[in-house]
Structure 1
Amino acid sequence: MSRRTPAPHTPRTGSNHPSCTSCRPTSTLTTPGPPPPGEYGDSDDCELETRVQFQMTKLRINREANRRLDAEEHPPVILPAVKNLTNLLAEPDAPTPYLIDRLAPDGGRVMLSAQYKAGKTILVENLVRALVDGDLFLDRFTVPSPRRRVVIIDNELSENTLRRHRLFRGPLLVAVDVDVDEL
């Protein structure tokens, strides 16, 4: 099988072909469109070069569009001012408000996990009662400001067991809003 060798390129006189090095454009095109096949006669080299330049222009446009989109979606990160460690340690700590003194910062999250039958439900009962009535939690930790709304998320007890549980019995919890979410 023989390969066809392309004919040597001969530029057209007055050509507006912007991509070929031997053709000099008479006008500047910002985004050249692909030429129709055979527009430059039998000059396969020129047509190939034109199509390559067209694809390169499309890729540059896509690359610039991606760069702008990335810059829009991911603005530059503003780093905090660098502090000397000695100066940082010399600054006073801001007081931390606690939901339960020394155990749970106000606005923080607490996760209770332990093995089966370790007393998690009883601990939660004591916690909810302390949060609602403002008594000491475990007879040791103060609750600075009692809550009117408590949410319990339980992924261990069934709905029937939760309903029968002593946590939800008694006059104390009638006056508060306790939400229970079974996972």
Structure 2
Amino acid sequence: MVSEWHEIITKFAPHLHRLQPWEQLPAGWDDQLDEQIADMVEDRWFEHTSDFQRQVHSEARRIRVSEHARDLLAREKAAQAAEPFDLGTLGEILRRPTEPPHRVEGLIPSDASTLVVAQRKTGKTTLLLNLARCLLTGEDFLSNFTTRPVVGTVALLNYEVSAAQIARWADDVGVDRGRLLLVNLRGRRNPLPVPEDRAKLAEILRSWQVETLIVDPFGRAYTGKSQNDPGEVGSWLVSLDQFARTEVGAKDLILATHAGWDGERTRGSSALEDWADSIITLVRDKDSNNGGNNGGEERYLRAEGRDVMVEEDQLRFDPTTRLLSLAGTGNRKAANKARRVDSLVGFVVDELQGDLALSGYEIEKRWRAKGLSFQKGEANAAGRRGAELGQLLLEPGPRNALIFRLNPSPPRPPHTSPTGTSDDLPDLPIYKGRSSGDVPTTDLPEDAPLPLEAS
């Protein structure tokens, strides 16, 4: 077909001799040709280019077949390297030497696959580095969870942060410089889908006796086409398990992933959560702003999984050491309630000016007369908090009531304005457009949102 085309253009259209088969016939190419000859040249041109395109597609198919064949062989070799099925009677398996049930007591089981789900910019990498430190030292993770230390090393496949930054953060946390292996892959070729790179990396990690492998984050380590396809994601997770446990020889696999738009669940396929033995979730409290804890908003951690159930609790962060610990103060709802009570202490103090001694009921009665909004029992809660802070004194009253009065020597006496409202705290909210008699204060649910101030 090629020789026939060249014979025709040599004889009838030599000006087309340099035309390549992937190009278009130029405008005016047939101006000097007889119409019948032009038709013949054009027919042969289309035959020639069609034959070229067929060859291109055939060659592309051959290359794709070759690439898929190499991938198939790599998977078959990995499967052959894996140990065969584990079989035994119940009695035989129960007689085997028992291993410690948890790597991190109550949080990460032994030989487990752990998923760390975090909203963006909540300190996911800092949490992982804190975990790496405790895995190497045996210190309690988050100052709360007993940790069984690794014998070998910990490796972190870091896809997200620059090498210099992750090294500086790890050093700030105090991770053992000789036992944390950093594999920095930001802007680099992903070794997991490349057989040669994968085999070389596995060999290096095995030589370092890596016992815990951390992969951060899933979105950049993943090699499939869609993170929402459960089949693709599930297959990739099986391959990651084989890499970590069979090729590297690690016991623990920890995979970090970003949370979806709601900040509470994983982004992408639910196959991620189905895969994990333990799911650790890190969230921020958007209603908090403490002005210092890693950007102002408080962080909270919870976990669930096989033999794992950790109720949500606040994380404390030391900006100097970058160390994290559980505060033991409860979940976001409890924290919001505590902030609400703290905000009312100043208003209890205002009502006790002039050496008054009042019960919580009497304080709430005064608030209601002023048109202020509150929930039943909040005056007592705020009074107790004021006593904890040393601003108030409390004593038993009739019918098991508590009587509050000002502490004549408080640690830091609150300042009050001439009108009697606290200068230390924001104004107590008022229901917009309602008088005090219309405020249904006693029927408000415990977690009701704070009303806005009247305009």
Q: TM-score, normalised by structure 2?
A: 0.18
Instruction: Please state which structure has a larger fraction of its residues in helix.
Output: 2
Structure with the bigger percentage of strand: 2
